[in-house]
Amino acid sequence: MLLVTGATGTTGMEVLRALKARGATARALVRDETKAHQLRDLGFTPVTGDLGDPRTLGPALAGVERAYLVAPASPMQSELEQTFLETAHEAGVEQIVKLSVLGASAESPQRFARSHGKVEQALKDSGLQWTLLRATGFMQNTLGWGARVQDGVFYTPVPDAAFSIVDARDVAEVAALALTEDGHAGRAYGLSGPEAISYRDQARRLFAAAGREIEVAEVPVEAVKRELVRAGVPPWNAEGLAELLELYASGGASMVTSGVADALGRPPRDLDAFARDNAPAFRA
């Protein structure tokens, strides 16, 4: 039996779709039962539980051999995932496929990479078999950009900073492979798209696929951080996103990796393919 945590999230739902394409069955872990209908529609069994509360995970972990692990970004992310690892080990789970980030390290100056680095080390020390999916930013994070265009202008911080975004569907297919086939334990896959692309070029190509011409204008990183907090994003998360923007501006996220091709035997999806598949999201 397989278990997919974060089942209604960006990668969790795609992992379930990739597993379905492979004919695999799995349990889908959710915290909110009201979202479970999406999982049933895909043909998966939803189970409720909280990564940080072992008392809620018994039914979810019973008989599970391999699990996909992802927790939402929060100050408690590493603690939540480490609690899950301990509970999974006690339940007899054999292998964890963990979503991580490129540059994960307990000593990283970026809080997201630092948090994932702590969990990576805990997983390696746990006695469980492990597979690490070290992904860059997701192309799917652009799907809300349509609402950000004002009078034909798309506003973004660090518009000319190039970084190598990846389609979450590719990450999910690598996860499904590691969950259903042997030979991936002890592997760490760096997962990026095929090119480093600036926010300016991302916007132009995405909106062009939807038949729109837009201009790109820069806004300061600090202004973006303030607006995120004003919109309800927790300050910890907003500060972490600002750290990422500074990383992009320094060129520290422009690396292109071979992980998707190494695992799947094909190149990663490019931004233009993603744009064609999601053109309605970028129309006026």
Q: Decide the pairing of beta strands 197-198 and 27-30.
A: unpaired
pTM for this entry? 0.96
Q: What is the pLDDT of residue 110?
A: 94
Q: What is the Cα–Cα distance from 278 to 282, expressed in whole angstroms?
A: 8
Backbone angles phi and psi of 197, in degrees to 5: -130, 135
Q: What is the Cα–Cα distance from 193 to 184, expressed in whole angstroms?
A: 21
Q: Which CATH class is domain 2-135+166-191+255-268?
A: alpha beta
Q: What is the pLDDT of residue 82?
A: 96
List per-residue pLDDT tens for the chain, 284 residues long.
999 999 999 999 999 999 999 999 999 999 877 777 888 888 898 999 999 889 999 989 999 999 999 998 889 999 999 999 999 999 999 999 999 999 999 999 999 999 999 999 999 999 999 999 999 999 999 999 998 899 999 999 999 999 999 999 999 999 999 999 999 999 999 999 999 999 999 999 999 999 999 999 999 999 999 999 999 999 999 999 999 999 999 999 999 999 999 999 999 999 999 999 999 999 97
CB 137 within 8 A of CB 165: yes
Q: What is the Cα–Cα distance from 187 to 71, expressed in whole angstroms?
A: 20
Q: What is the pLDDT of residue 40?
A: 87
